[in-house]
Amino acid sequence: MSGNEEADQLAEQGAKTEQPNTQVTYREKVTIIKAITRPQQEQDAYHLLNRAE
């Protein structure tokens, strides 16, 4: 089975199951959106400093 066919089958199975009714707070939504839209850094800013000591 190819990857696309397997993904389609899993998506179909997931659509048939009952979806949980969980409430997401405004704060959680903001956190999720920021995490998705913020570009990933290879390293944090501290380790990007170029200092020869």
Domain that holds residue 40: 20-53
Type of residue found at 38: R
Task: Kindly state whether residue 8 falls inside one of the protein's structural domains.
Answer: no
Residue 9 contacts by C-beta under 8 Å, 6 or more apart in sequence?
Answer: 1
Look-up of token digits 């696309």: 4
Number of domains in the chain: 1
Task: Kindly state whether residue 35 falls inside one of the protein's structural domains.
Answer: yes
Query: Which string of DSSP letters, residue by residue, matches 8-23?
Result: HHHHHHHHHSPPP---
pLDDT of 33 reads 94
Look-up of token digits 């089975």: 1
pLDDT of 51 reads 74
pLDDT digits (tens, 9 = 90+) for 1-53: 677 899 999 999 989 998 888 899 999 999 999 999 988 767 777 777 777 75
pLDDT of 53 reads 56
Task: Kindly state whether residue 9 falls inside one of the protein's structural domains.
Answer: no
The CA distance from 7 to 14, in Å, is 10
